[in-house]
Chain A
Amino acid sequence: MTSELKTEHITINMGPQHPSTHGVIRFVIKTDGEIIHECDPDVGYLHRGIEKIAESVTWQGFVPFTDRVDYLASMNANWAYCMAVEEMLGTEVPERAEYIRVIAGELNRISSHLVAIGAADMDMGAITPFVQLLREREYINDLLEMICGARLTYNYYSIGGVNYDLPEGFSIKVMGFLDHFEVAVEQMHRLVTYNQIFINRFANVAAVSPEMAMDYNFVGPNLRGSGVKYDVRRNKPYSIYDKLDFEIPIGTASVGTLGDCYDRYFVRVEEIRESVKILRQCLQQIPEGEIQAKVKNAIKPPVGHKYIRTETPRGDTGYFIYSDGKTSPSRLKIRTGSFTGMSIIPELARNIFIADLVAVIGSLDIVAPELDR
């Protein structure tokens, strides 16, 4: 009798408005009961044509648009674009500006990772860590507001430097925050990272092997979670990262298989600690001096193409710029970590529970505007 019982595949929509999809993304899921048979991510709901806009604004005028590419890490997005244009023009950024860039970028990296971790926890049903981590993020937002006046989309970096110098008493405030924050990270560890319920939900789910990670072009914490030790800050150093001392954490399969959701999560937690280390060094070493290099008002980079990669919180972000020597780019392509991370979903989501798909999306740290651009 039991062998004659058959279940029908049901097609359901997860999203576009779904609390655990981290933005407006739709997943068309064919399920066999609770198990996913096939999953097709439907992206593009937040496609604003930023790459087309780039073709009609000036080189400097595009900086505020990069904020909107990745709103959780606008500083790093600004940085990636500004650095690309500086490389094309051959501009030397003053040393103080480089230090300020690293300080702002690493603060933003911490705040972005806090949201990533908190949101992953909340997807798993733990509301308390999310609220606690968002409180910490508010302190960072206060610090970033001090230096540029904005709390989300900063528009702080300019081509050739940064827009404002650090305000008075900034480094004391950051030092005070870091002292407090290190205790808060420990508290978060006790609350989530070593929590058995959380480990059971994340460990051994959707493991990605190193080969698969490279094949799908995983970047940043997702790639390192699979055990590939590659960080643009270390392997192709830019700015002042070669002068700084920090570790590259990788996934170690501490509780499950290599490259599972827990490894990706844990790499982010460890990266927060490394960012704290970097910040302390920068605040001690920061020199006095200029914050803006001399850049002409009408920028016209020579004809050619340039591909620049920087390490943002969501991994290696590539800006491909094709210039035809005019006052705006002829073509600008932004290759983001969320886009390539998302393309693995059809393969990862096969034969797992619907509830585990939520864990996978949470652990990949996908930000929809960055995915759709």
Chain B
Amino acid sequence: MFKEHTLNTTEIIDLIQKNTQIEVKASENSYDASIIVEPKDVLPVMKFLKLSRDLSFKVLSSHTAVHDGEDFKLFWNLLSYEHNLETTIESSVPVVSPQIQSVCKVWKAADWLERESYDLFGIQYIDHPDLRRIMLPEDWIGFPLRKDYQSPEGYQDIENSRSEIDKRFKP
């Protein structure tokens, strides 16, 4: 089942461009090579990567976002057990309107991973079947993993301030 066969990122990019006619490019990164895809092209590229016989990326290993200045960088880590392949897809959306197509239709694992990054970053996934908070309470305000997030002063009846004893103590 596991052939000794490894396509590199350039070959994967060639396959994508030949079969889908979508412009993608390799990113410059010190570690893992990744493929940069425009936000509007994410869904078709993902569908191709999963269904292609030569690649068959049947597993979405991880998906997350990174708050980097004006943009959210989005990363999808894909695995192919059949061909023992690994790749990273990268895209970016602006912080002011963080909208991207959901890939739930391609992999079911995307459901909770997208809910998590909606919860912690506030990224809106279009066509997600059930986009609501997963880790935090439903009535939580703000998205904690954004760099400009301010911790709230309290939540319901719980105060988030230092106690009087704590303030007086000076080591």
Provide the bound-state CA to CA distance between A177 and B108, in Å: 43
Please state if A333 and B144 are interface contacts (CB–CB under 8 Å).
no
Q: Report whether A305 and B112 are in contact in the complex, using a CB–CB cutoff of 8 Å.
A: no
Contact between B75 and A320, CB atoms less than 8 A apart: yes
Tell me the interface secondary structure of chain A in the complex: mixed
* CB contact under 8 A between A51 and B31, given known A216-B108, A339-B112, A343-B108: no
Q: Taking A230-B81, A340-B109, A372-B135 as contacts, is the C-beta distance between A302 and B30 under 8 angstroms?
A: yes
Known contacts A217-B107, A304-B31, A305-B34; A322/B112 CB under 8 A: no
Q: Is the CB of A304 within 8 A of B62?
A: no
**Are B135 and A215 touching (Cβ within 8 A)?**
no
Which among B81, B133, B136 has the highest number of chain A CB atoms within 10 Å?
Answer: B81
The answer to whether residues A316 and B31 also contact, given A214-B81, A216-B109, A229-B1 and a CB cut-off of 8 A, is no
Instruction: Check if A331 sits within 8 Å of B66, measured CB to CB.
Output: yes
Q: Look across to chain A and name the residue whose beta carbon is closest to the beta carbon of B121.
A: A331
Binary A-proximity of B26-37 (CB < 8 A = 1, otherwise 0): 000111101000
Contact B61 A309 (CB under 8 A): yes
Closest to B90 in A: A305
Interface size on A, residues (CB 8 A): 41
Does A43 have its Cβ within 8 Å of any Cβ on chain B? yes
CA distance A309 to B86 in the complex (A): 11
Contacts of B1 in A (CB 8 A): 229
Contact A47 B136 (CB under 8 A): yes
B41 within 8 A of A: no
Interface string of B49-76 (1 = CB under 8 A from A): 0000000001111101011100001010
18 more contacts with CB within 8 A, not counting A230-B2, A340-B112, are A43-B135, A44-B135, A47-B136, A51-B120, A211-B58, A215-B107, A215-B108, A229-B1, A235-B84, A305-B29, A305-B31, A307-B32, A307-B75, A307-B77, A320-B62, A322-B68, A331-B66, A372-B135
Residue ranges of B at the interface with A (Cβ–Cβ < 8 Å): 1-2, 29-32, 34, 58-62, 64, 66-68, 73, 75, 77, 81, 84, 86, 88, 107-109, 111-113, 116, 120, 133-137, 144-145
Q: Chain A residues in contact with chain B, CB under 8 A?
A: 43-44, 47, 49, 51-52, 87-88, 211, 214-217, 228-230, 235-236, 302-307, 309, 316, 318, 320, 322, 324, 330-331, 333, 335, 339-340, 342-344, 347, 372
